[in-house]
Amino acid sequence: MACPGGCGNIMRLPLVSNRRPHWSVNRDWLGRPSLSPSVHQRNACRAHFWIRKGAVTWCRNSGCGHP
């Protein structure tokens, strides 16, 4: 998927559990994906967001998703 932060990067999230870091995807009954944990781009754009039910939810504080 393309980064929603606007930098144009194509993100390749490793979903394979034997690699770290990795993300897990859960789909609801409509097939909408939710990603866990949040995604934090480490490039210049520094986008930090969740994907919940197929929609991007922005993190607005630094502690979000990282207790």
The site for Zn ion (CB under 5 A) is made up of 3, 5, 7, 41, 45, 47
The size of the chain, in residues, is: 67
CA distance 2 to 8: 6
CA distance 40 to 28: 23
Min dist CB 17 to Zn ion, Å, is 25
Min dist CB 42 to Zn ion, Å, is 10
What tokens does 52 get?
A: 């919940």
Min dist CB 39 to Zn ion, Å, is 10
Closest to Zn ion by CB, 5 vs 51, is: 5
